[in-house]
Amino acid sequence: MKQASVSTVLEKILDRPRKRRTNEKVIPILGVPCDAVVVFVRFLYSSRCTEEEMDRYGVHLLALSHVFSVHQLKQRCTKGLARQLMVENVVDVLQLARLCDAPDLYLKCMKLLSKDFKSVQKTEGWKFLQENDAWLELEILQFLDEIESRQKRRSKNREEQSLYLQLSEAMECLEHICTEGCTNVGPYDKEPTKKMGPCEKFSTCQGLQFLIKHFATCKKRISGGCCRCKRMWQLLRLHSSICDQSDHCKVPLCRQFKLRTQLERKGRHDDGRWRLLVKKVVSAKAISSLSLPKRKRDQESNVLAGHTHRHC
């Protein structure tokens, strides 16, 4: 029979030995409206179900398709109910999805519920759930807590990544200022470059120039009481940790910091947190360079190639 080929459950029921000798076999389908049963049986024969029927009997059809293992109808019901999801019915559909083992529908319900949980809490479905299904309530609250924790971690990672990118940009500006000069601060052996337009990283470059000028004239620096000088000191140390050409580097104290780091490693006083910071800044610089437009990357590669050629 057609029903048996569509549903393995129906096939087993139909093949079960009969107690009475009769050609008729009745399979009771209880707990759903008669019209929903008619639509279900028609689907077994024709594999068809209209959108109107799905809108009206989707909940009942999902239950029937799960009980009788009609997978094709179950997929249709899952998609149809997902389209009908709203704040008012999300708790009811969530309970059904859980009972009928419909993970896709379950996840969509959870996502909708998490987006507007305050409104969901006002619905009758949520109040009923609190009174009758404490386990599902706990499951929902754990899901919401996990989402909140994940969002906090993402926000923290974005903030950290932004900080590492700023430090990476500061390293580029520091090398740029100490090698070529910019605006009114330049290397010790020549005047700063006077460009017609603003520096490409003007805000960072300008702030760093103010910091350099303060560092050069500050009297508190000797006693270690100036926070701005401490910041400049850390930037110089960070540059030294990243720089791979200390013999020809024009950034102040680059070689001295490298020698100090080597002595600390020999004495086993290496700072693991500092090494992690250096690693993060280098990684941020690499990611930033990969995100640049191809034309800009090509230009920077050409400039670097020309710079290398002049030194060879």
- For the chain, domains (ranges, CATH) are 1-16+25-108 (3.30.710.10), 165-188+198-264+272-289 (1.20.1020.10)
pLDDT computed for residue 309 by the predictor: 39
pLDDT computed for residue 311 by the predictor: 38
Give me 138's structure tokens. Answer: 């706990």
pLDDT computed for residue 87 by the predictor: 93
Query: Using an 8 Å Cβ cutoff, are 74 and 51 in contact?
Result: no
Q: What is the secondary structure of 86-134 as a DSSP string?
A: -TTTHHHHHHHHHHTT-HHHHHHHHHHHHHTHHHHTTSHHHHHHHHH-H
pLDDT computed for residue 24 by the predictor: 60
223 pLDDT more than 60: no
pLDDT grade for 292, boundaries at 50, 70 and 90: low
Q: Measured between alpha carbons, how far apart are the two ends of the chain, in Å?
A: 86
110 pLDDT more than 70: yes
Of the candidates 219, 211, 263, the one whose C-alpha atom is nearest the C-alpha of residue 236 is: 211
This prediction's pTM: 0.58
pLDDT computed for residue 219 by the predictor: 77
Query: Using an 8 Å Cβ cutoff, are 281 and 167 in contact?
Result: yes
Q: What is the mean pLDDT of the chain?
A: 80
pLDDT computed for residue 190 by the predictor: 64
Q: Is the dihedral of CA 282, 283, 284, 286 positive or negative?
A: positive
Q: What is the pLDDT of residues 39-89, one digit of tens each?
A: 888 888 888 888 899 989 999 999 988 988 888 889 999 999 999 999 999
Q: What is the pLDDT of residues 6-29, one digit of tens each?
A: 666 656 665 566 655 555 666 667
pLDDT grade for 254, boundaries at 50, 70 and 90: confident
108 pLDDT more than 90: yes
pLDDT computed for residue 17 by the predictor: 61
Higher pLDDT, 194 or 161: 161
Q: What is the pLDDT of residues 116-155, one digit of tens each?
A: 999 999 999 999 999 999 999 999 999 999 999 999 999 9
